[in-house]
Amino acid sequence: MPRVQVNLYATLRRYVGGAPSVEVEIDPGRTIEAVLAGLGVPTDQTRILFLNNRAANLSDTLKDGDQLGVFPALGGG
């Protein structure tokens, strides 16, 4: 079964027991939104998404070996 790595940051880690990263088995063609929903991460709190280090959208579909980076609203500098 295809697997993706989901890296969660800041306040979003509370939804996966504080873990910085989880591996998830997916059906081919699953969207980022569906994977996050399956983890219990509220998508209305996700603001910055990366799929393999490029900006992504919740509707983007995933394939084996993909790496996700998911952040709430953050800034600084």
Partner 1 sequence: MAVIYRVNMTDLSVRSEAPGPGYLETGGRGLTSALIAAEVRPTCHPLSPENKLVIAPGVLTGTGAPCSGRLSVGAKSPLTGTIKESNSGGMGAIAMATLGIRAIILEGKPADRGLYRLIVNTEGIQIEPADELAGLGNYETVGRQYEEFGDKVSCLSIGQAGEMGAAAASIAVTDVEGRPTRHCGRGGLGAVMGSKGVKVIVIDPRGGHRPKPADVEAFKRGAQKFQEILKGHPLTGEGLPTYGTNALANVINQAGAYPTRNFSQGQFEGTEAISGEHQHDVILERGGEIAHACHRGCTIKCSRIYVDENGQYVTKGPEYETIWAHGADCGIDDLDAIARMDRLDDDFGLDTIETGATIGVAMEAGIIPFGDAEGAIGLLEEVGRGTPLGRLVASGAEVLGKAYGVSRIPTVKGQSMPAYDPRAVQGIGVTYATSTMGADHTAGYSIAANVLGVGGTVDPLKPEGQVELSRNLQIATASIDASGLCLFVAFAVLDKPEAMDAICDMFSGLLGREFTADDYLALGKATLAREREFNRAAGFTAADDRLPDFFKTEKLAPHGATFTVSDEELDTVYNFVGE
* Interacting residues toward partner 1 by CB under 8 A: 7, 9-11, 13, 20, 45, 47-48, 50, 53-55, 69, 71-77
| Residue 26: closest CA among 3, 48, 9, 43 | 3
Q: How far is the CB of 1 from partner 1 (least distance, A)?
A: 25
> Is 35 in contact with 16 (CB distance < 8 Å)?
no
* Cα separation, 49 vs 9, whole angstroms: 11
Q: How far is the CB of 72 from partner 1 (least distance, A)?
A: 6
Helix/strand/coil for 43: helix
Q: How far is the CB of 48 from partner 1 (least distance, A)?
A: 6
Cβ-based nearer residue to partner 1, 27 or 44: 44
